[in-house]
Structure 1
Amino acid sequence: MTTAFCPNDPLSVAEAWIGERRSVAVATVIETWGSAPRPVGSHLVIDADGNFEGSVSGGCVEGEVITAAIDVIAGGTPRMLEFGVADDTAWRAGLSCGGRIRIYVERIS
């Protein structure tokens, strides 16, 4: 059975990119506390050139996640990222919603 490509679904985009022989990482929201911009299960897919689709924070920390994903693609080692209002990186990136999010970044093939 063939699955249909859905241009708004980051995982469908990842599957298409892998079919194009791109190196790809997926970032997944795995845990949230308090007010979080995106729910658990939200995805952001990134290729080695920094192209991306989806969202893990509504734009608040995507830049930091994309940078980490490019490192994961290059090195192959998954990373756990955590952002919240007490995190200087999150404030710099604009995560001021009062919550915290944990994001798992892994290379996929």
Structure 2
Amino acid sequence: MSDQEDILSTAAGWLAHGETVALATVVETWGSSPRPAGSQLAVTASGRMAGSVSGGCIEGAVADAARQTMESGQPQLLDFGISDERAWEVGLACGGKLKVFVERLDGKR
């Protein structure tokens, strides 16, 4: 099982147990980004997390956005880069840029 499948399996398990879940996926990277495109982070409303979109440097900001997405149901496209002041605030000082798509998961089939 790949890391992505494991994260999706974990998220599916959380959904099956009644948790509200959001999934963040790295959709684009440039330069020295901390994780490759396709990397994922699952977040629950109760605070559980599985996976990584940045090796830790922007996880907090992405988790905050995930909570907003779980509440509103509206997906978000987050843009972090070295020229972005927020990137320094959240710890992305590696010189890379990345875009992270955040969506609420639905347990319906």
* TM-score relative to the length of structure 2: 0.90
Q: What is the aligned-residue RMSD (CA, Å)?
A: 1.5
Given candidates 46, 71, 74, the residue that maps to 1:74 is 71
**Alignment partners' CA distance in 1, 2:43 and 2:85:** 24
Report percent identity of matched pairs: 49
Shift of 1:21: 1.0
Aligned pairs for 1:1-109 within 5 A: 9-109=6-106
Give 4+ residue runs of structure 1 displaced > 6 Å after superposition: none
Shift of 1:40: 0.5
In structure 2, the gaps of 5 or more residues are none
Amino acid aligned to 1:94: G
- Name the SS for the 1:21 alignment partner: coil
**Alignment partners' CA distance in 1, 2:85 and 2:101:** 19
